[in-house]
Amino acid sequence: MRAQRIRTPLTGLALAAAAAVLPLASATAGPTIEFGNGQSLNITYALQAWSQTRHQTFGGVTSDTTDFYLRRNRLAFTGQYNDYVSFYAQLEAGGDGKGGVFDRPVYWRDAYVSIDWSDELRFIVGRFKNTFSRENLEACLEPLTMDRAEVLSYTPFGGTRDTGVAVWGNLLDAKLQYRLMVADGRKGAERPADKPRVTARVHVSLWDPEYNYGYQGTYLGTRSVLTFGAAYDTQADVAYANYLSRADAKNYKAWTVDAFMELPHASGVYTASAAAFKYDTGGAFGRSPDPALGANSDLKGYYAKAGYMLPGKVGPGRLQFFARHERLEYGVKTGIAKYYDNRWNSAGFNYYIDGQRLKLSGEIADIKYDTPHPAVPALSNYRQATLGLQLIF
The residue type at 243? Y
The DSSP output letter for 216 is -
**What's the distance, CA 124 to chain centroid?**
17
C-beta separation of 271 from 255 below 8 A: no
Element at 17 (helix H, strand E): helix 13-20
CA distance 164 to 139: 20
CA distance 133 to 135: 6
Q: Cα Rg for the chain, rounded, in angstroms? A: 22
pTM above 0.85, yes or no: yes
Structural domains of the chain ordered from first start: 13-392 (2.40.160.10)
CA distance 379 to 339: 7
Question: What is the β-pairing status of strands 299-309 and 318-330?
Answer: antiparallel
CA distance 130 to 136: 8
SS3 10: coil
Please spell the DSSP secondary structure of 80-137, one letter per residue: E-SSSEEEEEEEE-TTTTGGG---PPPEEEEEEEEEES-SS-EEEEEEEE-SS-HHHH
SS3 128: strand
Print pLDDT tens along the chain (393 aa): 433 333 333 333 333 333 333 333 335 578 899 988 889 999 999 999 999 999 998 888 888 999 999 999 999 999 999 999 999 999 999 888 887 777 778 999 999 999 999 999 999 999 999 999 999 999 999 999 999 988 888 899 888 999 999 999 999 999 999 999 999 999 999 999 999 999 999 999 999 999 999 999 999 999 999 999 999 999 999 999 999 999 999 999 999 999 999 999 999 999 999 999 999 999 898 778 898 998 999 999 999 999 999 999 999 999 999 999 999 999 988 888 889 999 999 999 999 999 999 999 999 999 999 999 989 998 999 999 999 999 999
Q: Is the dihedral of CA 307, 309, 310, 314 positive or negative?
A: positive
